[in-house]
Amino acid sequence: MEKENKSPDYILLIVTALLLGIGIIMVFSASTIISQVQYGDSYFFLKRQTFWAFVGLLGLLLANKINYWKWEKLAVAFLILNFVFLALVFVPGLGRQVYGAYRWIQIGGINFQPTEFTKLALIIFTAAHVSKGGIVKSFTKGILPPIFFLGLSFILILRQPDMGTAVAISACIIIMLFVAGMRITHLVGFLAATVPVGLALILQSDYRRERLLSFVNPWEDHMETGYQIIQSLYALGPGGLAGVGLGQSRQKFFYLPEPHNDFIFAIIGEELGFLGASFVLILFFIFIWRGFRIAAYSPDLLGSLLAAGITSIVGIQALMNIGVVTASIPVTGINLPLVSAGGSSLFFTLTGIGILLNISKHITK
């Protein structure tokens, strides 16, 4: 392992800071009404987002200081913790139900979303397994272990239920295995086996089937299943080129569900217009470019796979979230990394970026 001899990727760091700053501003703008009505404090979500941004930045700074190869030693421990956390959401008194889903563990006044830890745990385990001698071109030795533990996690996440997150994590791990040299035949075989299962899961579940049908024609049931998509488009439409102005959103007045979370990009489009929304998109594309550049020039396979995994999960979530907001894909419940409100997401995303920044100190170009 080469010694650290470079500064971190400052372009990646600046992009992260910009997205984080935009997120804090837009969470405040999008949440003032709901914060005042629900909590009697229009600054409630602003204070919470700022707090978690601070905690997340501490995680980033710490991860940036730790040589990335040390995470390999924690891979198995993280994997075990992942399954413990995913199981705890179903324990009465610990698991917290919101909108019929058990996705949080509540300890005191802190809510923790285990799937955010799952993303990092599976990325670290997959990178460690392959780099330590897992022959990725061999199905049983290289591919099967990560796929097996991914499958177990998928089942537990699906039970919450949270199919959107399960799909995002699965796509991330497959990208990592492909980067590591996964055979095309194995990739095609995996897709051939899982896509029909995914379709069956959608069609057998009433709410998933309704989401799919509402995506095809949201105006057919505009007050129920198509409501979120339509309200999101109603937010984007009036934004025009430059937006209606920061803080001037109309859709945040209880028209658009979760304006500070899953649909915050719609508020960005409404208040900052096409230019503001495009700027956010450009920042994510730069993030993906810098992340995969780090993966390409990492001095070893472990660094390459960690960088590819962390970059992929951020990029996949961003594309899925923006796809939902623009009615390009069905509603998934995925938030916008670094921008949407959410403590667990912010902390683990920033910690992952800290690992990415540490890898960037060792790149060969």
299 touches 240 (CB < 8 A): no
Lowest mean pLDDT among 1-5, 52-56, 237-241, 249-253: 1-5
- Mean pLDDT, residues 211-236 taken together: 75
Query: Does residue 18 have a pLDDT over 90?
Result: yes
Q: How far apart are CA 339 and CA 221, in angstroms?
A: 30
DSSP 8-state symbol, 298: -
* Nearest by Cα to 212 from 164, 147, 261: 164
Over 90: is that where the pLDDT of 97 sits?
no
The tens digit of pLDDT for each residue in 225-248 reads 678 888 888 889 888 899 999 988
The pLDDT score that the predictor gives to residue 1 is 47
Q: For residue 29, what are the contacts with CB-CB under 8 A and spacing of at least 6?
A: 246, 247, 249, 252, 267, 271
pTM: 0.92
The answer, yes or no, to whether residue 213 has pLDDT greater than 60, is: yes
Taking only the tens place, the pLDDT of each residue in 318-362 is: 999 999 999 888 878 799 999 999 889 999 999 999 999 999 999
- Residue 65 Cα distances to 7, 17, 96, 304, angstroms: 11, 18, 34, 18
Res 143 pLDDT > 50: yes
Mean pLDDT computed over 93-102: 71
| Portion of the chain with pLDDT greater than 70, in percent | 90
Q: Rounded to whole angstroms, what are the CA distances from 111 to 141, 248, 345? A: 38, 30, 11
| R_g of the chain, CA atoms, integer Å | 20
Give the separation between CA 43 and CA 295, rounded to whole angstroms.
Answer: 39
Mean pLDDT along residues 284-305 = 95
pLDDT of residue 101 exceeding 80, the answer is no
Confidence (pLDDT) at 221 = 63
pLDDT band (50, 70, 90) for residue 122: very high
Which pLDDT tens digit goes with each residue over 29-66? 999 999 999 888 899 999 999 999 999 999 999 999 99
Query: What average pLDDT is seen over the chain?
Result: 88
pLDDT value of residue 5: 58
Q: What is the pLDDT of residue 91?
A: 85
Residue 173 pLDDT > 50, yes or no? yes
Closest CA to 325 of 281, 275, 289: 281
Greatest Cα-to-Cα distance within the chain, rounded to the nearest angstrom? 60
User: What is the pLDDT at residue 73?
Assistant: 93
Question: Which one-letter amino acid corresponds to residue 139?
Answer: F
Enumerate the β-bridge partners of residue 98: 101
The rounded distance, in Å, linking the Cα atoms of 83 and 227 is 35
Answer whether the bond into residue 161 is a cis peptide, omega within 30°: yes
Please provide the distance, in angstroms rounded to a whole number, between the alpha carbons at the two ends of the chain: 16
Question: Could you tell me the pLDDT band of residue 272, with boundaries at 50, 70 and 90?
Answer: very high
* pLDDT exceeds cutoff 80 at 205: no
